[in-house]
Chains A and B, each alone.
Chain A
């Protein structure tokens, strides 16, 4: 079945450590996105990519980095510069006329 796979489901990060969240899609969608969601809040856009080897900052890109070397993959790195990284992270993809497809999310906790 086509869809988006995010891994891991739960991730624990120590202070000062970089961690990478994986996002893979087999929908052949051009665009991919990373969102952050805090408890009881809506989705805030971190980064998005419309095409391979290109990506744009969203509203809260500071402390995060991404790459888009393959159409299927859009990993997100949470760097030590992100002071409050504990949140639920959602990856999504879309194609013209298709709307969004979301992954099941990664819950990141700083320990």
Chain B
């Protein structure tokens, strides 16, 4: 199963943009890049996903490298409510269901 690598923790000031990196050098052509975030004492929630092109939604943007070996989740204006653990995982459209969640990146937002 393809694995991702993320920094253990990051800090950001409130109202500033945050760029959360993810490396996935063993990604295959059919793997989608998914991002989830987990608030304290809650289950993870979906943030965004993409295949090759950059993606935007109301929560965040996803920038995918041209070779697809890395991606960056962008929070345009961090708020205190964005303090969470962010997970980057690879999911094929169909097939294996044994996805790997690493320890993610713990984002701290400073007021």
A64 close to chain B: CB less than 8 A: no
Q: Which residues of A contact B98 (CB under 8 A)?
A: 45, 48, 56, 58
B17 close to chain A: CB less than 8 A: no
Q: Which residues of B contact A100 (CB under 8 A)?
A: 34, 36, 44, 46, 99
Residue of A nearest to B96 (CB): A50
B49 contacts A99, C-beta separation under 8 Å: yes
Q: Which residues of A contact B45 (CB under 8 A)?
A: 102
Contact of B93 among A41, A48, A96, A101 (CB under 8 A): A96
**Residues of A in contact with B (beta carbons under 8 Å apart):** 4, 31, 33, 35, 41-43, 45, 48, 50, 56, 58, 88, 90, 92, 94, 96-97, 99-105, 107
Q: Which residues of A contact B97 (CB under 8 A)?
A: 31, 33, 48, 50, 94
Q: Which residues of A contact B36 (CB under 8 A)?
A: 100, 102
B103 close to chain A: CB less than 8 A: yes
Return A99 CB to nearest CB of chain B, in Å: 5
Assess A42 versus B103: contact at CB under 8 Å? Given A31-B97, A50-B97, A97-B93.
Answer: yes
B102 contacts A42, C-beta separation under 8 Å: yes
Known A43-B87, A43-B101, A105-B43; 8 more pairs at CB < 8 Å? A33-B97, A41-B103, A58-B98, A88-B41, A99-B49, A100-B99, A102-B43, A104-B43
